[in-house]
Structure 1
Amino acid sequence: MKIGVLVTGHPPENMRENGAYDQYFARLLEGHGFEIEGWAVVDGQFPPGIDAADGWLITGSKHGAYEDHDWIPPLEEFIRAAWAAGKPMIGVCFGHQIIAQAMGGRVEKFAGGWSVGRTGYQMDGKTVTINAWHQDQVTERPEMAEVFASTAFCENAGLLYGDTFWTIQPHPEYDADFIDGLIRTRGKGVVPDDLLEAASALLDQPTDRMEVARTMADFFTKARTR
């Protein structure tokens, strides 16, 4: 199965030794039999159409879904075309947000501030820990979306759109080293110091990122009604 990754952002310049974000997801989903190809839509590089892959994944980004960028309207059109065709799609962080926005939801800078580092989410009746890095949130979900993951801080942390779209606010592709790098690069002076310190203190604690990776792989490969 070929998965097309729509890359909507880049790692900080001094953290690019491990490649672009499509490669982070290739490593996360390694062993599940996927062929991965990335398109840097953030740089205007779009796939020729929704049939260029069997399923799609939209990455995180430093940009806001509500910002005025030339690549955002065609990305939203691509999302809606994938929905109309029944193409499975996963969205992570910005991907989670832009899918919600494209499908009629609302994304905003959350008045409650930031969520960074190791975070526990209530997901399918149990607590699943994943690394987070966001201030923006889906504050109003689309009518067809159902919540499958949440916290007191982030109500719409995981959204399921029938059997076609699966989206999540935190970052299963981020390991402790990457979060540490973000704390040292993009965090200082932007995220409150107490949140950065708390995230740093938990860097050596395990997460359930590979369990989430299996869930993502299962979503892509599941039998569908259309």
Structure 2
Amino acid sequence: MPPPIRIAVLECDTPLTQTRERYGGYGGVLTKLLHSAADAIHMPREALDISKWDVVNGAGEYPALDDIDAILITGSRFNAFDNDPWIVRLVEFVRMVLSQDRVRVIGVCYGHQIVARVLGAKVARSEGGAWEASVCDVYLTPRGKELFRKEALSMFQMHKDLVYYYPQGVEELAWSDKCKVQGMYIAKRVITVQAHPEFTEPIVREILETRRQQNIFDEDTYQDALARVVKPQDGVVVGEAFLRFLVE
């Protein structure tokens, strides 16, 4: 059996209470996704060596590149275009990873935006601050159909910040009605998605209810998102694509 793929999950936020109690952190949520994807493609879970790094509240420590084969940057409630010290450190670490050609990069939502920032694209609030939330349709480019092995995706979304255009040198994977940059790809280097393949219905319900209580979501936004939270979604399909990317 070949050595395991060493994946460092860079945790860019802390989950809400119920999710934290179940999974421990977003590293746990992503581990569940990757294990489910491994099961789906008949990859032994032992083929994945997953470590977790709190890059927000930790001591500024990051994995040594010699000790890992990939990084996976999680979602976050923070803004990828801000310059808080921990965000600047994250940007510089991702820049270092992208400057070499062995360790691969996976980005999810906030992670997708961080990668785009490093590659020189504009990341900012959507015009009008409109949310894309709950299960939404994602349309695929020919390359996206090839990588995800579907004609289109239904995905959990939870963002109102956008990557405004594709940076130079990446392949376009997907778009939606509210976000034209839904996925980026560089063969054997980078794969990112704006959506949240790791989210489940209970995770999204907790976020929706909390943001309603905090008046982050108005009633119309909340009800619209809640009506779609039970729809089937393709998170594991995207997780499978992540694993195929790691061994391509």
TM-score normalised to structure 1 length: 0.92
Report the identity percentage: 29
Query: Does residue 118 of the first structure (1) align with residue 135 of the second (2)?
Result: yes
Measure how far apart 1:53 and its partner are. Answer: 1.1
Q: Distance in 2 between matches of 1:46 and 1:219?
A: 26
Report if the CA contact (8 A) 2:165-2:180 is conserved: no
Report if the CA contact (8 A) 1:4-1:52 is conserved: no
Range 181-190 or range 147-156, more displaced: 181-190
Measure how far apart 1:36 and its partner are. Answer: 0.7
Measure how far apart 1:9 and its partner are. Answer: 0.6
Query: Does residue 28 of the first structure (1) align with residue 33 of the second (2)?
Result: yes
Specify the alignment match of 2:156 in structure 1: 131
Q: Distance in 1 between matches of 2:94 and 2:203?
A: 28
Deviations, residues 14-71 of structure 1 (Å, cap 9, x unaligned): 5411210001111000134311101000114422422231111000011001123111
Specify the alignment match of 2:90 in structure 1: 75
Q: Distance in 1 between matches of 2:125 and 2:48?
A: 34
Deviations, residues 90-118 of structure 1 (Å, cap 9, x unaligned): 00010000111011111101014100000
Q: State how 1:44-193 maps to structure 2 within 5 Å.
A: 44=58, 45-86=60-101, 87-112=103-128, 113-123=130-140, 124-125=144-145, 126-188=151-213, 189-193=215-219
Q: Distance in 1 between matches of 2:107 and 2:243?
A: 13
Query: Does residue 197 of the first structure (1) align with residue 202 of the second (2)?
Result: no
Report if the CA contact (8 A) 2:182-2:194 is conserved: yes
Q: Which runs of 5+ in 2 are unaligned?
A: 146-150
Report if the CA contact (8 A) 1:89-1:164 is conserved: yes
Q: Which protein has the bigger helix share?
A: 2
Q: Which of residues 199, 207, 211 in structure 1 aligns to 2:233?
A: 207
RMSD: 1.5
Report if the CA contact (8 A) 1:115-1:132 is conserved: yes
Q: Distance in 1 between matches of 2:112 and 2:64?
A: 20
Q: Distance in 2 between matches of 1:14 and 1:48?
A: 28
Query: Does residue 43 of the first structure (1) align with residue 69 of the second (2)?
Result: no
